[in-house]
Amino acid sequence: MSINIPRGTKDILPGEVEKWQIIEEKAKEVSARFNYKEIRTPVFEHTDLFQRGVGDSTDIVQKEMYTFTDRGDRSLTLRPEGTAPVTRSYVENKMFGLPGQPVKLYYIQPMFRYERPQAGRYRQFVQFGIEAMGSADPAIDAEVISLAMTVYQELGLKKLRLVLNTLGDADSRKAHKDALIAHFEPRIEEFCSDCQNRLTKNPLRILDCKKDRDHDLMKTAPSILEYLNEESKDYFDQVKTSLDDMNIQYVIDPTLVRGLDYYNHTAFEIMSDAEGFGAITTLSGGGRYNGLVEDLGGPATPSIGFAMSLERLLLALEAEGITLNTEEDLDCYVVALGDEAKKKSVSILNDLRNAGIKSDKDYLDKKMKAQFKAADRLKARFVAILGEEELSKGIINVKNMESGEQKEVRIEELSTFVKQGN
Ligand code: HAM
Protein backbone atom coordinates (compact mmCIF):
# COMPACT_ATOMS: atom_id res chain seq x y z
CA MET A 1 0.00 0.00 0.00
CA SER A 2 1.35 3.41 -0.86
CA ILE A 3 1.71 6.20 1.68
CA ASN A 4 0.38 9.64 0.85
CA ILE A 5 1.54 13.10 1.82
CA PRO A 6 0.01 14.51 5.07
CA ARG A 7 -3.05 16.74 4.68
CA GLY A 8 -2.30 20.41 4.20
CA THR A 9 1.24 19.86 2.92
CA LYS A 10 2.61 19.56 -0.58
CA ASP A 11 5.56 18.51 -2.64
CA ILE A 12 7.15 21.17 -4.76
CA LEU A 13 8.45 19.42 -7.82
CA PRO A 14 10.88 20.51 -10.52
CA GLY A 15 8.93 22.70 -12.91
CA GLU A 16 7.19 24.36 -9.95
CA VAL A 17 10.22 24.80 -7.70
CA GLU A 18 11.80 27.27 -10.15
CA LYS A 19 8.99 29.72 -9.33
CA TRP A 20 9.82 29.38 -5.66
CA GLN A 21 13.45 30.04 -6.38
CA ILE A 22 12.59 33.22 -8.29
CA ILE A 23 10.42 34.48 -5.42
CA GLU A 24 13.00 33.57 -2.80
CA GLU A 25 15.69 35.35 -4.81
CA LYS A 26 13.48 38.42 -5.10
CA ALA A 27 12.76 38.41 -1.37
CA LYS A 28 16.46 38.09 -0.58
CA GLU A 29 17.49 40.73 -3.07
CA VAL A 30 14.90 43.28 -1.88
CA SER A 31 15.78 42.55 1.77
CA ALA A 32 19.45 43.20 1.01
CA ARG A 33 18.54 46.43 -0.80
CA PHE A 34 16.72 47.59 2.33
CA ASN A 35 19.70 46.41 4.44
CA TYR A 36 18.03 43.46 6.19
CA LYS A 37 20.17 40.43 7.08
CA GLU A 38 19.03 36.83 7.07
CA ILE A 39 18.35 34.91 10.27
CA ARG A 40 17.55 31.20 10.57
CA THR A 41 15.97 29.78 13.69
CA PRO A 42 15.09 26.19 14.61
CA VAL A 43 11.98 24.49 13.27
CA PHE A 44 10.86 23.78 16.85
CA GLU A 45 10.94 25.89 20.00
CA HIS A 46 9.80 25.50 23.59
CA THR A 47 6.00 25.63 23.63
CA ASP A 48 6.15 28.39 26.27
CA LEU A 49 7.65 30.74 23.73
CA PHE A 50 4.48 30.80 21.66
CA GLN A 51 2.15 30.71 24.66
CA ARG A 52 3.85 33.81 26.02
CA GLY A 53 4.88 35.38 22.74
CA VAL A 54 1.90 34.88 20.46
CA GLY A 55 -0.63 34.84 23.30
CA ASP A 56 -2.57 32.17 25.15
CA SER A 57 -5.96 33.32 23.92
CA THR A 58 -5.09 33.36 20.21
CA ASP A 59 -6.37 30.75 17.75
CA ILE A 60 -2.79 29.85 16.92
CA VAL A 61 -2.00 28.81 20.49
CA GLN A 62 -5.46 27.46 21.32
CA LYS A 63 -6.06 25.36 18.25
CA GLU A 64 -3.33 25.36 15.69
CA MET A 65 -0.01 24.36 17.18
CA TYR A 66 1.84 21.16 16.43
CA THR A 67 2.96 20.46 19.96
CA PHE A 68 4.72 17.31 21.11
CA THR A 69 6.66 16.01 24.06
CA ASP A 70 10.18 14.89 23.26
CA ARG A 71 12.00 11.97 24.82
CA GLY A 72 13.33 14.28 27.51
CA ASP A 73 9.74 15.17 28.48
CA ARG A 74 9.96 18.73 27.18
CA SER A 75 7.00 20.32 25.47
CA LEU A 76 8.12 21.52 22.05
CA THR A 77 6.18 23.14 19.23
CA LEU A 78 6.82 23.36 15.48
CA ARG A 79 6.98 27.10 14.95
CA PRO A 80 3.63 28.51 13.76
CA GLU A 81 5.16 31.93 13.03
CA GLY A 82 8.50 33.69 13.01
CA THR A 83 8.26 36.76 15.24
CA ALA A 84 8.42 35.02 18.61
CA PRO A 85 11.41 32.85 17.59
CA VAL A 86 13.30 35.83 16.14
CA THR A 87 12.57 37.82 19.29
CA ARG A 88 13.76 34.92 21.44
CA SER A 89 16.96 34.84 19.42
CA TYR A 90 17.38 38.62 19.65
CA VAL A 91 17.20 38.39 23.44
CA GLU A 92 19.22 35.18 23.79
CA ASN A 93 22.01 36.44 21.54
CA LYS A 94 21.90 39.88 23.17
CA MET A 95 21.42 41.53 19.81
CA PHE A 96 20.11 44.56 21.72
CA GLY A 97 23.78 45.22 22.58
CA LEU A 98 24.90 45.36 18.96
CA PRO A 99 26.10 48.76 17.76
CA GLY A 100 23.92 48.71 14.64
CA GLN A 101 20.41 49.34 15.94
CA PRO A 102 17.79 48.80 14.78
CA VAL A 103 18.64 45.18 14.05
CA LYS A 104 16.99 44.43 10.73
CA LEU A 105 16.38 40.75 10.01
CA TYR A 106 14.59 38.64 7.46
CA TYR A 107 13.74 34.96 7.20
CA ILE A 108 12.34 32.52 4.67
CA GLN A 109 11.28 29.51 6.67
CA PRO A 110 8.52 26.90 6.87
CA MET A 111 5.80 27.43 9.48
CA PHE A 112 3.29 24.91 10.80
CA ARG A 113 -0.33 25.46 11.78
CA TYR A 114 -3.00 22.85 12.29
CA GLU A 115 -5.65 24.66 10.23
CA ARG A 116 -8.41 23.40 7.99
CA PRO A 117 -6.67 23.23 4.62
CA GLN A 118 -8.12 25.13 1.67
CA ALA A 119 -6.72 27.20 -1.19
CA GLY A 120 -4.15 29.52 0.38
CA ARG A 121 -4.25 27.77 3.73
CA TYR A 122 -1.92 24.91 4.48
CA ARG A 123 -0.55 23.11 7.48
CA GLN A 124 3.01 23.67 6.38
CA PHE A 125 3.72 26.90 4.52
CA VAL A 126 6.74 29.09 3.91
CA GLN A 127 6.85 32.59 5.30
CA PHE A 128 9.09 35.34 4.11
CA GLY A 129 9.15 37.76 7.00
CA ILE A 130 11.15 40.68 8.30
CA GLU A 131 11.63 42.10 11.77
CA ALA A 132 13.11 45.56 12.46
CA MET A 133 14.02 45.61 16.13
CA GLY A 134 15.08 48.59 18.19
CA SER A 135 13.50 51.64 16.62
CA ALA A 136 10.33 53.56 17.43
CA ASP A 137 10.63 55.80 14.40
CA PRO A 138 7.33 55.81 12.43
CA ALA A 139 9.43 55.99 9.26
CA ILE A 140 10.57 52.41 9.82
CA ASP A 141 6.94 51.27 9.92
CA ALA A 142 6.63 52.74 6.46
CA GLU A 143 9.92 51.11 5.42
CA VAL A 144 8.65 47.67 6.47
CA ILE A 145 5.41 48.16 4.53
CA SER A 146 7.30 49.48 1.56
CA LEU A 147 9.57 46.42 1.54
CA ALA A 148 6.58 44.10 1.36
CA MET A 149 4.97 46.15 -1.41
CA THR A 150 8.23 46.26 -3.35
CA VAL A 151 8.55 42.46 -3.40
CA TYR A 152 4.99 42.09 -4.69
CA GLN A 153 5.23 44.87 -7.24
CA GLU A 154 8.57 43.82 -8.65
CA LEU A 155 7.18 40.33 -9.20
CA GLY A 156 4.43 41.97 -11.22
CA LEU A 157 1.42 42.11 -8.90
CA LYS A 158 -0.86 45.07 -9.47
CA LYS A 159 -4.13 44.33 -7.73
CA LEU A 160 -2.89 45.01 -4.23
CA ARG A 161 -4.68 46.74 -1.39
CA LEU A 162 -2.80 47.90 1.67
CA VAL A 163 -5.08 48.00 4.71
CA LEU A 164 -3.84 49.99 7.64
CA ASN A 165 -4.91 50.41 11.23
CA THR A 166 -3.47 51.35 14.57
CA LEU A 167 -4.05 49.49 17.79
CA GLY A 168 -2.64 52.35 19.82
CA ASP A 169 -0.39 52.16 22.85
CA ALA A 170 -1.13 50.31 26.09
CA ASP A 171 -3.29 53.13 27.52
CA SER A 172 -5.36 53.50 24.36
CA ARG A 173 -5.79 49.76 24.18
CA LYS A 174 -6.91 49.59 27.79
CA ALA A 175 -9.53 52.29 27.20
CA HIS A 176 -10.68 50.50 24.04
CA LYS A 177 -10.75 47.13 25.82
CA ASP A 178 -13.01 48.53 28.56
CA ALA A 179 -15.31 49.97 25.91
CA LEU A 180 -15.44 46.63 24.07
CA ILE A 181 -16.31 44.76 27.26
CA ALA A 182 -19.07 47.24 28.04
CA HIS A 183 -20.35 46.85 24.47
CA PHE A 184 -20.45 43.05 24.26
CA GLU A 185 -21.06 42.02 27.88
CA PRO A 186 -24.84 42.59 28.07
CA ARG A 187 -25.45 40.23 25.13
CA ILE A 188 -22.40 37.98 25.28
CA GLU A 189 -24.54 34.83 25.57
CA GLU A 190 -25.55 35.38 21.92
CA PHE A 191 -21.94 34.79 20.91
CA CYS A 192 -19.96 31.58 20.45
CA SER A 193 -18.20 29.99 23.39
CA ASP A 194 -14.82 31.19 22.12
CA CYS A 195 -16.06 34.78 22.17
CA GLN A 196 -17.51 34.32 25.65
CA ASN A 197 -14.07 33.28 26.83
CA ARG A 198 -12.48 36.15 24.97
CA LEU A 199 -14.70 38.79 26.58
CA THR A 200 -12.61 39.51 29.63
CA LYS A 201 -9.30 38.05 28.51
CA ASN A 202 -9.00 39.66 25.12
CA PRO A 203 -12.20 41.26 23.76
CA LEU A 204 -10.36 42.57 20.70
CA ARG A 205 -10.27 38.96 19.47
CA ILE A 206 -14.09 39.00 19.29
CA LEU A 207 -13.85 41.39 16.34
CA ASP A 208 -11.82 38.74 14.56
CA CYS A 209 -14.33 35.92 15.13
CA LYS A 210 -15.33 34.09 11.97
CA LYS A 211 -18.48 32.54 13.48
CA ASP A 212 -20.03 35.72 14.84
CA ARG A 213 -18.92 37.95 12.02
CA ASP A 214 -22.49 38.97 11.11
CA HIS A 215 -23.81 39.69 14.60
CA ASP A 216 -25.26 43.23 14.72
CA LEU A 217 -23.10 44.16 17.71
CA MET A 218 -20.04 43.65 15.52
CA LYS A 219 -20.99 46.52 13.27
CA THR A 220 -21.56 48.94 16.14
CA ALA A 221 -18.52 47.91 18.20
CA PRO A 222 -16.44 50.83 19.48
CA SER A 223 -13.56 51.64 17.17
CA ILE A 224 -10.01 51.90 18.45
CA LEU A 225 -9.68 55.18 16.58
CA GLU A 226 -12.05 56.80 19.10
CA TYR A 227 -9.88 55.72 22.02
CA LEU A 228 -6.45 56.73 20.82
CA ASN A 229 -4.57 59.12 23.08
CA GLU A 230 -2.66 62.02 21.57
CA GLU A 231 0.61 60.13 21.41
CA SER A 232 -0.88 57.17 19.56
CA LYS A 233 -2.80 59.42 17.20
CA ASP A 234 0.34 61.37 16.48
CA TYR A 235 2.34 58.20 15.86
CA PHE A 236 -0.25 56.90 13.40
CA ASP A 237 -0.30 60.26 11.60
CA GLN A 238 3.44 60.12 11.13
CA VAL A 239 3.29 56.59 9.72
CA LYS A 240 0.66 57.75 7.24
CA THR A 241 2.74 60.77 6.29
CA SER A 242 5.77 58.58 5.60
CA LEU A 243 3.63 56.31 3.41
CA ASP A 244 2.27 59.36 1.59
CA ASP A 245 5.82 60.59 1.06
CA MET A 246 6.64 57.30 -0.64
CA ASN A 247 3.43 57.37 -2.68
CA ILE A 248 2.22 54.18 -1.09
CA GLN A 249 -1.57 54.08 -1.13
CA TYR A 250 -3.55 52.59 1.71
CA VAL A 251 -7.03 52.33 3.13
CA ILE A 252 -7.68 52.72 6.83
CA ASP A 253 -9.75 49.95 8.38
CA PRO A 254 -10.36 50.41 12.11
CA THR A 255 -11.71 46.84 12.31
CA LEU A 256 -8.39 45.34 11.25
CA VAL A 257 -7.27 43.32 14.24
CA ARG A 258 -4.46 40.89 13.74
CA GLY A 259 -4.71 37.33 15.02
CA LEU A 260 -1.71 37.59 17.34
CA ASP A 261 -1.54 39.28 20.72
CA TYR A 262 1.77 41.09 20.55
CA TYR A 263 0.68 44.00 18.39
CA ASN A 264 0.33 47.66 19.27
CA HIS A 265 0.31 50.84 17.21
CA THR A 266 0.63 50.09 13.49
CA ALA A 267 -1.13 47.00 12.13
CA PHE A 268 -1.45 46.25 8.43
CA GLU A 269 -2.39 43.64 5.91
CA ILE A 270 -1.85 43.51 2.18
CA MET A 271 -4.74 41.99 0.29
CA SER A 272 -5.14 40.76 -3.26
CA ASP A 273 -8.06 42.22 -5.20
CA ALA A 274 -7.45 39.87 -8.12
CA GLU A 275 -10.59 38.17 -9.34
CA GLY A 276 -10.64 34.48 -8.67
CA PHE A 277 -8.12 34.70 -5.88
CA GLY A 278 -10.48 32.79 -3.61
CA ALA A 279 -11.92 33.30 -0.18
CA ILE A 280 -8.70 34.16 1.59
CA THR A 281 -7.47 37.44 0.23
CA THR A 282 -4.80 38.36 2.76
CA LEU A 283 -1.36 38.12 1.23
CA SER A 284 0.61 39.34 4.21
CA GLY A 285 0.24 40.84 7.62
CA GLY A 286 2.32 42.62 10.16
CA GLY A 287 2.60 45.36 12.66
CA ARG A 288 4.38 46.85 15.61
CA TYR A 289 5.11 44.79 18.70
CA ASN A 290 6.81 47.16 21.10
CA GLY A 291 6.41 45.01 24.22
CA LEU A 292 7.46 41.59 22.98
CA VAL A 293 11.22 41.78 23.56
CA GLU A 294 10.55 42.85 27.14
CA ASP A 295 7.95 40.11 27.60
CA LEU A 296 10.55 37.58 26.55
CA GLY A 297 13.15 38.85 28.99
CA GLY A 298 15.01 41.55 27.06
CA PRO A 299 15.16 45.33 27.43
CA ALA A 300 12.36 47.55 26.10
CA THR A 301 12.81 47.32 22.32
CA PRO A 302 10.24 48.83 19.98
CA SER A 303 9.92 46.58 16.94
CA ILE A 304 7.91 46.04 13.80
CA GLY A 305 7.69 43.38 11.12
CA PHE A 306 5.52 41.48 8.71
CA ALA A 307 5.28 38.07 7.08
CA MET A 308 3.89 36.78 3.81
CA SER A 309 3.52 33.21 2.70
CA LEU A 310 5.07 32.26 -0.61
CA GLU A 311 2.06 30.01 -1.24
CA ARG A 312 -0.37 32.94 -1.25
CA LEU A 313 2.00 35.04 -3.30
CA LEU A 314 2.07 32.30 -5.94
CA LEU A 315 -1.73 32.14 -5.91
CA ALA A 316 -1.91 35.89 -6.41
CA LEU A 317 0.50 35.73 -9.34
CA GLU A 318 -1.64 33.01 -10.87
CA ALA A 319 -4.85 34.99 -10.28
CA GLU A 320 -3.33 38.00 -12.04
CA GLY A 321 -2.13 35.81 -14.90
CA ILE A 322 1.54 36.55 -14.25
CA THR A 323 3.97 33.87 -15.34
CA LEU A 324 7.45 33.99 -13.93
CA ASN A 325 10.19 33.27 -16.40
CA THR A 326 11.27 29.82 -15.33
CA GLU A 327 12.70 28.79 -18.69
CA GLU A 328 15.89 26.87 -18.15
CA ASP A 329 18.30 25.66 -20.77
CA LEU A 330 21.49 23.71 -20.94
CA ASP A 331 24.76 25.04 -22.33
CA CYS A 332 26.00 21.79 -23.75
CA TYR A 333 24.80 18.21 -24.22
CA VAL A 334 27.38 15.59 -24.98
CA VAL A 335 26.31 12.90 -27.43
CA ALA A 336 28.61 9.88 -27.41
CA LEU A 337 28.55 6.96 -29.85
CA GLY A 338 30.38 3.73 -29.14
CA ASP A 339 31.90 2.38 -25.96
CA GLU A 340 35.20 4.27 -26.11
CA ALA A 341 33.48 7.57 -26.82
CA LYS A 342 31.04 6.97 -23.98
CA LYS A 343 33.91 6.39 -21.60
CA LYS A 344 35.63 9.55 -22.77
CA SER A 345 32.41 11.57 -22.46
CA VAL A 346 32.60 11.17 -18.67
CA SER A 347 35.78 13.22 -18.43
CA ILE A 348 34.64 15.66 -21.13
CA LEU A 349 31.50 16.36 -19.12
CA ASN A 350 33.55 16.70 -15.98
CA ASP A 351 35.79 19.29 -17.63
CA LEU A 352 32.79 21.23 -18.93
CA ARG A 353 31.23 21.38 -15.46
CA ASN A 354 34.50 22.37 -13.83
CA ALA A 355 34.64 25.22 -16.31
CA GLY A 356 31.22 26.36 -15.07
CA ILE A 357 29.29 25.12 -18.09
CA LYS A 358 25.86 23.66 -17.48
CA SER A 359 26.01 20.35 -19.23
CA ASP A 360 24.71 16.81 -19.30
CA LYS A 361 24.88 13.50 -21.17
CA ASP A 362 22.90 10.33 -21.68
CA TYR A 363 22.94 7.60 -19.06
CA LEU A 364 20.41 5.24 -20.61
CA ASP A 365 22.51 3.89 -23.45
CA LYS A 366 20.30 5.65 -25.98
CA LYS A 367 20.79 5.62 -29.74
CA MET A 368 22.08 8.78 -31.45
CA LYS A 369 18.62 10.01 -32.47
CA ALA A 370 17.28 9.62 -28.96
CA GLN A 371 20.30 11.44 -27.55
CA PHE A 372 19.59 14.36 -29.88
CA LYS A 373 15.99 14.32 -28.79
CA ALA A 374 17.10 14.55 -25.16
CA ALA A 375 19.35 17.49 -26.03
CA ASP A 376 16.38 19.18 -27.68
CA ARG A 377 14.12 18.60 -24.70
CA LEU A 378 16.76 20.09 -22.41
CA LYS A 379 17.08 23.09 -24.76
CA ALA A 380 20.81 22.59 -25.15
CA ARG A 381 22.51 25.49 -26.93
CA PHE A 382 25.31 23.23 -28.12
CA VAL A 383 25.45 19.53 -28.78
CA ALA A 384 28.94 18.04 -28.74
CA ILE A 385 29.09 14.80 -30.71
CA LEU A 386 31.81 12.28 -30.08
CA GLY A 387 32.17 9.13 -32.21
CA GLU A 388 35.06 6.68 -32.55
CA GLU A 389 36.49 8.65 -35.47
CA GLU A 390 36.48 11.99 -33.68
CA LEU A 391 37.97 10.35 -30.65
CA SER A 392 40.88 8.95 -32.62
CA LYS A 393 41.59 12.48 -33.93
CA GLY A 394 41.21 14.12 -30.53
CA ILE A 395 38.37 16.31 -31.75
CA ILE A 396 34.67 16.68 -31.07
CA ASN A 397 31.92 17.88 -33.40
CA VAL A 398 30.03 20.80 -31.93
CA LYS A 399 26.65 21.82 -33.28
CA ASN A 400 25.20 25.22 -32.52
CA MET A 401 21.54 24.30 -32.12
CA GLU A 402 20.30 27.77 -32.92
CA SER A 403 22.19 28.39 -36.16
CA GLY A 404 22.53 24.72 -37.11
CA GLU A 405 26.23 25.37 -37.78
CA GLN A 406 28.61 22.52 -37.01
CA LYS A 407 32.34 22.78 -36.21
CA GLU A 408 35.17 20.50 -35.28
CA VAL A 409 36.84 21.53 -32.07
CA ARG A 410 39.78 20.02 -30.24
CA ILE A 411 38.46 18.15 -27.19
CA GLU A 412 40.56 20.18 -24.79
CA GLU A 413 39.20 23.41 -26.31
CA LEU A 414 35.54 22.43 -25.99
CA SER A 415 34.92 24.44 -22.79
CA THR A 416 36.45 27.61 -24.23
CA PHE A 417 34.47 27.15 -27.43
CA VAL A 418 31.15 26.76 -25.61
CA LYS A 419 31.94 29.63 -23.26
CA GLN A 420 32.60 31.94 -26.16
CA GLY A 421 29.11 31.05 -27.33
CA ASN A 422 30.28 30.36 -30.90
P1 HAM B 1 0.05 36.07 10.33
O2 HAM B 1 -0.95 37.06 9.91
O3 HAM B 1 -0.38 35.00 11.26
O4 HAM B 1 1.25 36.90 10.99
O5 HAM B 1 0.70 35.39 9.07
C6 HAM B 1 1.33 36.17 8.09
C7 HAM B 1 1.09 35.60 6.71
O8 HAM B 1 1.43 34.22 6.69
C9 HAM B 1 -0.34 35.63 6.25
O10 HAM B 1 -0.70 36.89 5.76
C11 HAM B 1 -0.30 34.60 5.15
O12 HAM B 1 0.34 35.12 3.99
C13 HAM B 1 0.61 33.57 5.73
N14 HAM B 1 -0.12 32.46 6.36
C15 HAM B 1 -0.58 32.37 7.61
N16 HAM B 1 -1.17 31.18 7.82
C17 HAM B 1 -1.08 30.50 6.66
C18 HAM B 1 -1.48 29.19 6.22
N19 HAM B 1 -2.07 28.33 7.04
N20 HAM B 1 -1.22 28.83 4.94
C21 HAM B 1 -0.58 29.68 4.10
N22 HAM B 1 -0.17 30.90 4.46
C23 HAM B 1 -0.41 31.32 5.71
C24 HAM B 1 2.39 36.38 11.46
O25 HAM B 1 2.72 35.23 11.30
C26 HAM B 1 3.30 37.39 12.11
N27 HAM B 1 4.45 36.69 12.68
C28 HAM B 1 3.72 38.44 11.12
C29 HAM B 1 4.63 39.45 11.72
C30 HAM B 1 5.96 39.53 11.62
N31 HAM B 1 4.25 40.44 12.51
C32 HAM B 1 5.31 41.12 12.91
N33 HAM B 1 6.36 40.56 12.38
Distance from residue 71's CA to the centre of ligand 1 (Å): 30
pLDDT in tens, 351-402: 999 999 999 999 999 999 999 999 999 999 999 999 999 999 999 999 999 9
Looking at residue 174, its amino acid is K
Distance from residue 114's CA to the centre of ligand 1 (Å): 13
What's the confidence (pLDDT) of residue 309? 98
- Residue 82 Cβ inside 6 Å of ligand 1? The answer reads yes
What's the confidence (pLDDT) of residue 205? 84
Average pLDDT over residues 78-88: 98
- Residue 113 Cβ inside 6 Å of ligand 1? The answer reads yes
Mark out the alpha helices in 185-299 (DSSP H runs). Answer: 193-201, 216-219, 230-245, 292-295
- Residue 198 Cβ inside 6 Å of ligand 1? The answer reads no
Report the C-alpha gap between 168 and 265 in whole angstroms: 4
- Pick the range with the lowest mean pLDDT from 143-152, 162-171, 274-283, 318-327: 274-283
The share of the chain scoring above pLDDT 90, in percent, equals 88
What's the confidence (pLDDT) of residue 202? 85
Report the C-alpha gap between 62 and 114 in whole angstroms: 10
422 pLDDT higher than 70: no
Mean pLDDT (the chain) is 95
* Ramachandran sector of residue 281 (left: φ over 0; alpha: ψ -120 to 50; beta: rest): alpha
Distance from residue 88's CA to the centre of ligand 1 (Å): 18
pLDDT in tens, 216-263: 999 899 999 999 999 999 999 999 999 999 999 999 999 898 888 899
State the chain's maximal CA–CA distance in angstroms: 96
24 pLDDT higher than 80: yes
279 pLDDT higher than 90: no
CA 181 to chain centre: 36
Average pLDDT over residues 144-155: 98
Report the C-alpha gap between 355 and 352 in whole angstroms: 5
Report the C-alpha gap between 168 and 176 in whole angstroms: 9
pTM for this entry: 0.92
Looking at residue 185, its amino acid is E
Report the C-alpha gap between 253 and 233 in whole angstroms: 15
> If pLDDT is split at 50, 70 and 90, which confidence band does 277 have?
confident
Beta-sheet pairing, 406-410 with 75-78: unpaired
Report the C-alpha gap between 366 and 214 in whole angstroms: 66
Distance from residue 81's CA to the centre of ligand 1 (Å): 7
For residue 77, what is the DSSP state? E
- Under 8 Å CB-to-CB from 148, ≥6 apart: which residues? 270, 284, 286, 306, 308
pLDDT in tens, 291-328: 999 999 999 999 999 999 999 999 999 999 999 988 88
